[in-house]
Amino acid sequence: MPQNELMEGDLQQKNEVSQKDLMEGNLHRKIKMFQKGMTRTAKMSQKRLMKQDLGELDVAKLHPLSPEVVSCQPTTNIGTIGHVAHGKTTVVRAISGVQTNRFKCELERNITMKLGYANAKMKTALGLCATSMSCGSGEEDNPLFDEPGYENCRMKLLRHVSFVDCPGHEILMATMLNGATIMDGAFLLVAANESCPQPQTLEHLSAVDILNLQNIVILQNKVDLVSEHQAKNQYQAIQEMVKGTAAEGAPVIPIAARLKYNIDVRDFVSPPHMIVIRSFDVNKPGCGVDETKGGVVGGSITRGVMKVNQVVELRPGLLGKDDSGNRICQPIYTRVISLFAEQNELQFAVPGGLIGVGTTMDPALSRCDRLVGQILGEVGTLPDVSVFLMRQLLGVRTQETQMVKVSKLRKGETIQVNVLSMVSKAKVVALNNGRARMQLAQPVCTRSGEKVALSRCIEKHWRLIGWGEILGGNTLDVRPPVPSGLYSRENQAPFSQK
pLDDT given for residue 338 in this prediction:
92
In 3D, which of 199, 241, 236 has the Cα closest to residue 216? 241
The C-alpha angle 253, 255, 256, rounded to 5 degrees, equals 170
SS (H, E, C) the chain: CCHHHHHHHHHHHHHCCCHHHHHHCCHHHHHHHHHHHHHHHHHHHHCCCCCCCHHHCCHHHCCCCCHHHHCCCCCEEEEEEECCCCCHHHHHHHHHCCCCCCCHHHHHHCCCCCCEEEEEEEEEECCCCCCEEEEECCCCCCCECCCCCCCCCEEEEEEEEEEEECCCCHHHHHHHHHHHCCCCEEEEEEECCCCCCCHHHHHHHHHHHHCCCCEEEEEEECHHHCCHHHHHHHHHHHHHHCCCCCCCCCCEEECEHHHCECCCCCCCCCCCEEEEEEEECCCCCCCCCCCCCCCEEEEEEEECCEECCCEEEEEEEEEEECCCCCEEEEEEEEEEEEEEECCEEECEECCCCCEEEEECCCHHHCHHHCCCCCEECCCCEEEEEEEEECCECCCCCCCCCCCCECCCCCCCCEEEEEECCEEEEEEEEEEECCEEEEEECCCECCCCCCEEEEEEEECCEEEEEEEEEEEEEEECEECCCCCCCCCCCHHHCCCECC
C-alpha 454/C-alpha 300 separation (Å) is 23
Phi-psi region of 212 (alpha: psi -120 to 50; beta: other; left: phi over 0): left
In 3D, which of 374, 371, 366 has the Cα closest to residue 445? 374
C-alpha 169/C-alpha 167 separation (Å) is 6
pLDDT given for residue 146 in this prediction:
64
C-alpha 358/C-alpha 364 separation (Å) is 14
Contact 222, 256 (CB under 8 A): yes
The pLDDT averaged over each successive group of 10 residues in the chain (498 residues) is 41 42 45 46 55 83 81 85 81 81 78 82 67 67 66 78 79 67 85 85 81 85 88 91 87 82 71 88 83 89 88 83 76 89 87 88 88 73 44 50 68 86 85 81 78 83 80 72 49 44
pLDDT given for residue 129 in this prediction:
54
Using CB atoms within 10 Å of the CB of residue 275, give its burial: 0 to 12 exposed, 13 to 18 middle, 19+ buried. Answer: buried
Read off the pTM: 0.51
